[in-house]
Structure 1
Amino acid sequence: MTDFFDKHHERLEQAIEAARTRAAWSPFNDSPSRKIHGDAVEKGLAAFQARLNQPFEIDQPGTIGRIGMEISPYTQEPLGISYPKVDVDVLYEAAREAIPAWRDAGARTRVGVCMEMAERLNKNSFECANAIMHTTGQSFPMAFAGGGPNAQERGLEAIVYAWQEMARVAESATWERAFGSTQVKMQKRYRLMPRGVALVIACATFPTWNAYPAIFANLAAGNAVIVKPHPLTILPMALAVEILRGTLRDAGLDPNLVTLVVDSSAEPIAKELVTRADTAIVDFTGSAHFGRWIEENARGKPVFTETSGVNSVVLDSTNDLKGLAQTLGMSLCLFSKQMCTSPQNVYIPRQGFRSNDSEISFDAVSETLVESINGLLSDNARAGGVLGAIQNENILHLVERAEELAPSRAKLLRESKPYAHPDFPNARTRTPVILGLDISDNDIYAREWFGPVIHFIAADSPEQALQQAASDAKQFGAINSYAYSTDEKFIERAQDAFGDAGANLSINMIGPMPLTYAAAFSDYHVSGLNPAGNATLTDASFVSGRFRIVQSRMAVP
């Protein structure tokens, strides 16, 4: 058995320190520049293209056919890749049989193997980026950074927390005390025991970013992992499974510790997998509706969810309206608002938004934001890098339903239109639709509109806006929230209100960093305190429930 722990020990120690200090640390470069990576850019594209119109072979047990229906949002043509369709009973049996040796290998070996897996995933970032781009609709730079190095670092972060939690448990102890006149001495042994087979269900638009932490947390704790990708976004997770299985094989371990189950939209299998008696853990990223179903039907199993919510922006005041409009406009457009952290509801005081010494009306602020977005998207090449493409047709239907609300229920502040992608003339694209609403219209805005639908909401005051936004976060879920104010007391009230709602808050963010960016080892993602999810990336609770401790005691004469 190959021991990768020493090879990666220095990086592990650096990661532990980063998690402790929460300072900036990135072991993997998230720029796709050729100046940095050389011919890896072209090799990654060639590797992706070689996958097209071919069967994706995985030498896992239980294959009974082929399945696959991915369509590129950029070409709107099938990728033509088929994947193994499996007999689930056979696959689960193989996964269960792989666990004992993995458990007995010990935490040190498991963590070393997981560290090696993360490094190998990183080396394949360019092929993975093309796969993510042509299944999710992300632009290439986002697919590389967010789906590659940033996701890998989130996975590494989970390894760190798993290692620390397991390291807290002593392997053995000699215990001795007096019972009356008799001295009792025992030798105690403590064993870390995995729960069993973990099911990781990935989402359609950001498959790797949440799946990698779940996979690594489960593996490091000694469990086997069955990966169930979204039927429209299979390839990124199939590539990961291929790499992880290869790493296990090279380490002299059973590759069936990581397997792939593919289904179709017509014949979904997730509910069957969640409710199986031999599914021990469930990780899920996706819709709030299905996330709630899993939480209610998982039959007492540990469930870790990240779903969706209503992310809000509360505008009180600023000293830089132009900078605010540019930063907020970019984040409202990024990846056509197909991210769980994207802002959706922008609350603007009806008469009194303060910019420097001026009071600016709702209409004037709305116009400034719309003009900033229009300028950002005026060049198709720039729009392509910002908006990307629309992942599926259902999102287009959602945009249409939003526009139908005008003029009876909403004011149409910006119409959604396709834009011509400079590299992919057949790309499925839409610019954002922006609706003007009143704060009383919460039957419209108090739910997630996943896709390029934005609400500018007129509030009587910043205080009213803050209370409504925080209330919606608590009731309907929110991962991130955003506030702009020059008033320190208002900022404190915003921190308290969103804190009570369990929504992370970004304050006065102006500049090149997207509002939605979350850094591994520093930013906590999802609080678990509202319906947007019950698990945090990453804290101790994300990993500690994935293993248990059993002990044996032997009397010492």
Structure 2
Amino acid sequence: MNARKLKAWRAQHAPMLEAASEAVRTRRPYSPFSDELADYDRAQVEQGESRFRRLLDAPLHTTPQVSTEPDQRWAGSERSPYGFDLGIRYRVEDFSQLASRAEVAKRKWQQLNIELRCALLCEVIARLQDDTFLFAQVGMHTSGHGLFMGFHANAVHAQARALESVAHVLAVAREMSCQFEAPMMERQGSCQRLSRQFATMPVGLSLVYAGQVVPTWGAYPGLFASLAAGCPVVVIGHDQAVLPMALTVKVLKAACAQVGVPHDIVNLFHSNDPAAYRQAALHPDVRLIDYMGGAEFGSWLRQHAWQARVMTQQSAQTPVFLHSTSDYDGMLENLAFGLCSFSAQLCTSPQTLYVLPEGIRVVDGVVSVAQFERDLVERVEQVLARFPCARELLGALVAPQSLAEIRACESARFARVLRHAETVHDPDYPHACIVTPSLIAVREGFASSVEHYGREIRGPVSFLVQPPDLRALLAELRTIGQHHGALGLGLYTVDAGVEHAMRQVSQEMGALLSINFCKNFYISQCAVFTDIHGGGTGAAANVTYGAPDYYHARLRMTEQRKLL
């Protein structure tokens, strides 16, 4: 093992890790890398695209030593949401063999002290930052991002999320580790001295299932937290978003190989048999499972993978209550952009807008529900008009059935359509499904339709609902949180009583409450190092990114005593 190189990395990345550790301690926002495109050279953007193109229609090797075994099997079926096959193939291996190799690699990995493990992972994060615009392109063509969205969600913000996990695990390990000597008096005997040593050990093999919408942002917290804790990791990418996780595993393996750490500490598991992904979760060596994705598979994992600690964040929607505001124009701007951005495919995008029948109180009176409907539609049109290239704002739909689902909502009995979703032709990507927002008012008398609009509908559709009063609204929000899932909750009000009531219900739901977000800080945004993600309650999540338990779960405490 190249201890000199590891120590050099520790010294090189110490300022970044110290800043991250301080941010973790204080919960203050911290951005290790700029998220402004203007701060990067245009040539980097172009190189990212050319590097992505070179990956197409070829096998992708994640290991540093490319083997050419004659019986190797390869598979891959990714298709860009912008309308072409990637043609990238990944090695198919037996999961039991990966688990066995991981167990061997773990013995050497956990022998590294936590400081050196974190140094190696910081080096990996720095290399991922060098690959930012490759990952931005990959985000476009596996997750339907626009370039700016890919730059943020699949690159710099995901890298920050990785560093956040490393800093958290380092803090937990330091907290749980100590060594001291102390006197011990046994009845009337003589005083003796006892040494005690408390240390941490990894809990075991970690399995990380990545989603499609924000694969790196969603998977990096579990991946880097487990590795920092000393756990070996097997990564399973979404079948349409394998590439971002394969590239991440490749960077991790290359750094490990460079310093003599067994690169089997992390592996990619890919199969052409979907049942193999369920069987992997049931392997007796798997002790941790991180999952971000749809509710069906998340529920299956929690019901069947009893040998592992299963941590899921799954289907959710974000309701918004518009009660009153001192900045009506800023509120409109914020909502309209949120409804358009990335075609509202994030679980934190505003989906259900609640307005009481008496309308929205503003500085100089009241805006009626009918007026608000007209104003919101007009503002959506204005936001769309600012982007000559619609895909930069809207991205492309990742789920082929999304448009059909939106059309079904528009034609439902409860729907009064304020704005129909429209497909947009992109000359650069003529086969992409790019869709503008659909705005639907729920007709009075269709209270049972909460079964339709209360669930997550991935795509640009939102519902305007008029509950009869505040009490009915709060009851419906509790139902959505418990049975359908909500990770976020928006509120616009200048009334302290309304704010207090919504604070209470958001805590019960385990939803991140965003109050009076106007202009250009959006309800869907989650600032790394300060905001949590997932409330650990209700249908949406049983774990919280950024909460202590998320990191403690990967370590166990050990004690050794010696009579001196």
484-493 or 35-44, which moves further after superposition? Answer: 35-44
Matched, 1:95 2:99: no
- How much does 1:495 deviate? 1.1
**CA contact under 8 A between 2:177 and 2:200: conserved in structure 1?**
no
Matched, 1:432 2:437: yes
**CA contact under 8 A between 1:32 and 1:41: conserved in structure 2?**
no
Name the aligned partner's letter for residue 426 of structure 2: H
5+ long unaligned stretches in structure 1? none
Quote the Cα distance in structure 1 between the aligned partners of 2:452 and 2:364. 33
Instruction: Please show how residues 124-143 of structure 1 align to structure 2 within 5 Å.
Output: 124-143=131-150
1:38-89 per-residue CA deviation (whole Å, 9 max, x = no partner) reads 4222221111111011111123899831111111111x11011111111222
- How much does 1:443 deviate? 2.2
Matched, 1:194 2:202: yes
1:138-172 per-residue CA deviation (whole Å, 9 max, x = no partner) reads 10001011111111111111111100000013343
356-365 or 207-216, which moves further after superposition? Answer: 356-365
**CA contact under 8 A between 1:395 and 1:451: conserved in structure 2?**
yes
5+ long unaligned stretches in structure 2? none
**CA contact under 8 A between 2:360 and 2:368: conserved in structure 1?**
yes
1:250-309 per-residue CA deviation (whole Å, 9 max, x = no partner) reads 122011111101234x63422111111011110000012221111121214212211122
Matched, 1:21 2:31: no
Identify the residue that residue 37 of structure 1 maps to in structure 2: 41
2:165 is aligned, of 158, 178, 183, to 158
1:219-262 per-residue CA deviation (whole Å, 9 max, x = no partner) reads 01000010100000111111101101111111220111111012
Quote the Cα distance in structure 1 between the aligned partners of 2:476 and 2:364. 26
1:453-499 per-residue CA deviation (whole Å, 9 max, x = no partner) reads 21111122345324422442233221110011121221122112212
Name the aligned partner's letter for residue 49 of structure 2: L
Matched, 1:81 2:88: yes
- How much does 1:134 deviate? 0.6
Quote the Cα distance in structure 1 between the aligned partners of 2:334 and 2:215. 26
Tell me: CA distance 1:131–1:451, structure 2 relative to 1, closer, same or farther (3 Å).
same
- How much does 1:176 deviate? 2.5
**CA contact under 8 A between 1:348 and 1:462: conserved in structure 2?**
no
Identify the residue that residue 114 of structure 1 maps to in structure 2: 121
Instruction: Please show how residues 288-437 of structure 1 align to structure 2 within 5 Å.
Output: 288-378=295-385, 381-405=388-412, 408-421=413-426, 423-437=428-442
Tell me the TM-score normalised to structure 1 length.
0.95
Instruction: Please show how residues 537-556 of structure 1 align to structure 2 within 5 Å.
Output: 537-556=545-564
- How much does 1:23 deviate? 2.6
Secondary structure (helix, strand or coil) at the match of 1:58 reads coil
Quote the Cα distance in structure 2 between the aligned partners of 1:450 and 1:85. 30
Quote the Cα distance in structure 2 between the aligned partners of 1:476 and 1:392. 19
Secondary structure (helix, strand or coil) at the match of 2:108 reads helix
Identify the residue that residue 182 of structure 2 maps to in structure 1: 175
Tell me: CA distance 1:300–1:278, structure 2 relative to 1, closer, same or farther (3 Å).
closer
- How much does 1:422 deviate? 5.3
- How much does 1:379 deviate? 5.6
Identify the residue that residue 61 of structure 2 maps to in structure 1: 57
Name the aligned partner's letter for residue 54 of structure 2: A
180-189 or 321-330, which moves further after superposition? Answer: 180-189
Quote the Cα distance in structure 2 between the aligned partners of 1:271 and 1:70. 20
Secondary structure (helix, strand or coil) at the match of 1:459 reads coil
Tell me: CA distance 1:379–1:29, structure 2 relative to 1, closer, same or farther (3 Å).
closer
203-212 or 426-435, which moves further after superposition? Answer: 426-435
- How much does 1:20 deviate? 2.5
- How much does 1:173 deviate? 2.6
Quote the Cα distance in structure 1 between the aligned partners of 2:331 and 2:287. 46
Instruction: Please show how residues 211-222 of structure 1 align to structure 2 within 5 Å.
Output: 211-222=219-230
**CA contact under 8 A between 2:234 and 2:268: conserved in structure 1?**
yes
Tell me: CA distance 1:461–1:422, structure 2 relative to 1, closer, same or farther (3 Å).
farther
Quote the Cα distance in structure 2 between the aligned partners of 1:23 and 1:188. 35
Identify the residue that residue 229 of structure 1 maps to in structure 2: 237
**CA contact under 8 A between 2:62 and 2:247: conserved in structure 1?**
no
Secondary structure (helix, strand or coil) at the match of 2:211 reads coil
Instruction: Please show how residues 497-508 of structure 1 align to structure 2 within 5 Å.
Output: 497-508=505-516
Quote the Cα distance in structure 2 between the aligned partners of 1:22 and 1:172. 28
Name the aligned partner's letter for residue 33 of structure 2: F
1:321-358 per-residue CA deviation (whole Å, 9 max, x = no partner) reads 22211110111121111112111110012233222232
Quote the Cα distance in structure 2 between the aligned partners of 1:473 and 1:422. 41
Identify the residue that residue 7 of structure 1 maps to in structure 2: 12
Name the aligned partner's letter for residue 220 of structure 1: A
Tell me the TM-score normalised to structure 2 length.
0.94
Quote the Cα distance in structure 1 between the aligned partners of 2:299 and 2:263. 32
Quote the Cα distance in structure 1 between the aligned partners of 2:336 and 2:213. 21
Secondary structure (helix, strand or coil) at the match of 2:431 reads coil
Name the aligned partner's letter for residue 174 of structure 1: E
User: How many pairs are equivalent?
Assistant: 551
Quote the Cα distance in structure 1 between the aligned partners of 2:40 and 2:84. 32
Secondary structure (helix, strand or coil) at the match of 1:295 reads helix
**CA contact under 8 A between 1:349 and 1:361: conserved in structure 2?**
no
Quote the Cα distance in structure 2 between the aligned partners of 1:351 and 1:187. 70
- How much does 1:361 deviate? 2.5
Name the aligned partner's letter for residue 169 of structure 2: A
Matched, 1:244 2:252: yes
Quote the Cα distance in structure 2 between the aligned partners of 1:171 and 1:499. 35
- How much does 1:531 deviate? 1.6
513-522 or 371-380, which moves further after superposition? Answer: 371-380
Quote the Cα distance in structure 1 between the aligned partners of 2:327 and 2:426. 32
Name the aligned partner's letter for residue 434 of structure 2: T
Identify the residue that residue 80 of structure 2 maps to in structure 1: 72
Quote the Cα distance in structure 1 between the aligned partners of 2:296 and 2:254. 35
**Identity percentage of aligned residues:** 29
Secondary structure (helix, strand or coil) at the match of 1:147 reads helix
Tell me: CA distance 1:498–1:170, structure 2 relative to 1, closer, same or farther (3 Å).
closer
Secondary structure (helix, strand or coil) at the match of 1:377 reads helix
Tell me: CA distance 1:322–1:429, structure 2 relative to 1, closer, same or farther (3 Å).
same
1:253 is aligned, of 257, 261, 273, to 261
Secondary structure (helix, strand or coil) at the match of 1:173 reads strand
Secondary structure (helix, strand or coil) at the match of 2:393 reads helix
Quote the Cα distance in structure 2 between the aligned partners of 1:353 and 1:38. 45
Secondary structure (helix, strand or coil) at the match of 1:154 reads helix
- How much does 1:382 deviate? 5.0
**CA contact under 8 A between 2:509 and 2:535: conserved in structure 1?**
no
- How much does 1:180 deviate? 1.3
Quote the Cα distance in structure 2 between the aligned partners of 1:253 and 1:20. 30
Identify the residue that residue 446 of structure 1 maps to in structure 2: 454
Identify the residue that residue 480 of structure 2 maps to in structure 1: 472
Identify the residue that residue 104 of structure 1 maps to in structure 2: 111
